[in-house]
Amino acid sequence: MHRLALILLLFLSANGFSRNIIVGKNQPVSSIRKAIEIAKDFDSITVLPGVYKEGALQLTKSLTIIGQNYPILDGENKYEILLISGQNITVTGLAFRNSGYSALNDYASIKLVDASKVTIAANKITNAYFAIHVSNTSYATIKNNNITGTPTSEQLTGNGIHLWKSRYALIENNTIQGHRDGIYFEFVTNSTIRNNHSEKNIRYGLHFMFSNDDAYLNNTFKDNGAGVAVMYSKKVKMENNHFDQNWGPSAYGILLKDISDSYISHNTFYKNTVGIHMEGTSRMTIERNKFKENGWAIKVQASCENNSFQRNNFTGNSFDVGTNGSLSLNEFSNNYWDKYEGYDINRDGVGDVPYHPVSMYSMIIEQNPNALMLLRSFTVQLLDKAEKAIPSLTPENLVDKKPMMKSLKL
């Protein structure tokens, strides 16, 4: 009977159809390794439920591997489970667990090397060192995966979705938690990250370096050790993302470092220690974002210039803007600040008195963080009022000359 089925399969493929090889405990082909071995390009492999402990698998043929009811590929904490190096490959519906750890190699549950046109979709990856590791690959699509790491320390935990030196990647609808960085981009261009959910990672929800012409849209980054870092890049589009509850002495909604010509709009920054922290950043447009209940909505270091902050809403933040210098070369205009106390005589919706979003107290804290203990103290409020009347410490040109009277509809 088994033999008959095998013959039938061979017959079908000989007739020009692609074959479907079924892998299962009680099937003629009982190991995935065997199935890959016998398969030809454009065949597909269906893996039936079960636990497969097959060490390190390699896939170079153009195959589609489909798991039924999430068959488990177990790396026994020793192996890199699946290495893909080819093109036109799809891996979907599998559950990867217990991939190995190596101090020398970035072991991963799924690794793509020198590949192209690969789709990794709807897999479940647990207890991995690196979950999905992509290098030197173009047109990788990674979507609908559910990745849960076992966080230990920054050194012993790898990244959730890690891309290095790749192009035209699409990272979509994944849920990543408990890794070092949720999504990691280094030297990745022309790629899109959207609708992902990255939370409770040890370091960054998204770690983004030396990657130009990319976009990340509609993602949620929540409760990550240090929020999101975007560094040494150009022409990055950041839209409609949510940055929530990234708390800590060096946690940021977004940490921007040496970024230029990028665009941040329609994002929501909610309850982060710092909404956006900017260092060496230039020619950025930051508009129509919501900054709500953050410690500092924005921290602009003196090394930033020619950035434009427009039409953002600042509500319920402990501090609106913090800075470490006395000079500011950035432009703020038409933002809504809930701390603004000016008036609007001509009723055009724009306040007639400029708003200085940097308070004296935030300058004090910048110099002496211990003073944070006095937050909202009456004494401090009086100091702030005095400073508003006669500015001496706060940068005079960090000012919104056209503050909005009402919050903007975003």
Partner 1 sequence: MMKVSKYVLYDILRSKIVLAYTLFLLIVSLSMFNMEENSSKAMLSLLNIVLIVLPLVSLVFTTIHYYNSYEFIELMSSQPMSRTRIIISEFAGVSVSLLSAFLVGVGLPILLYAPDETGFALLLTGMALTVVFVAIAFFASVRSRDKARGIGAALLLWFYFTLIFDGLILLMIFNLSDYPLEKITLPLISLNPIDVGRIFVTLKMDISALMGVTSALYKDFFTSSTGLLFTIGIMLLWTVLPLWLAIRRFNKKDL
Query: Which residue, chain included where needed, has tokens 């210039």?
Result: 305
Question: Structure tokens of 74?
Answer: 């177990």
CA atoms within 13 A on the CB side of 58: 5
**Least distance between partner 1 and beta carbon 252 (Å):** 10
Nearer to partner 1, 251 or 358 (CB): 251
**Least distance between partner 1 and beta carbon 148 (Å):** 24
Residues in the chain: 410
Nearer to partner 1, 368 or 392 (CB): 368
Nearer to partner 1, 73 or 276 (CB): 276
Nearer to partner 1, 62 or 246 (CB): 246
Smallest CA-to-CA distance from 204 within 179, 237, 169, 187 is with 179
**Least distance between partner 1 and beta carbon 201 (Å):** 17
Report how far residue 409's alpha carbon sits from residue 389's, in angstroms, rounded to the nearest whole number: 31
**Least distance between partner 1 and beta carbon 330 (Å):** 22
**Least distance between partner 1 and beta carbon 257 (Å):** 18
Question: Structure tokens of 20?
Answer: 């479907």
Smallest CA-to-CA distance from 136 within 63, 189, 179 is with 189
Nearer to partner 1, 48 or 374 (CB): 374
**Least distance between partner 1 and beta carbon 48 (Å):** 47
Positions in the binding site for partner 1 (CB under 8 A): 245, 247-249, 251, 271-274, 293-296, 315-316, 318-319, 338-339, 364, 368-382, 406-407
Nearer to partner 1, 8 or 386 (CB): 386
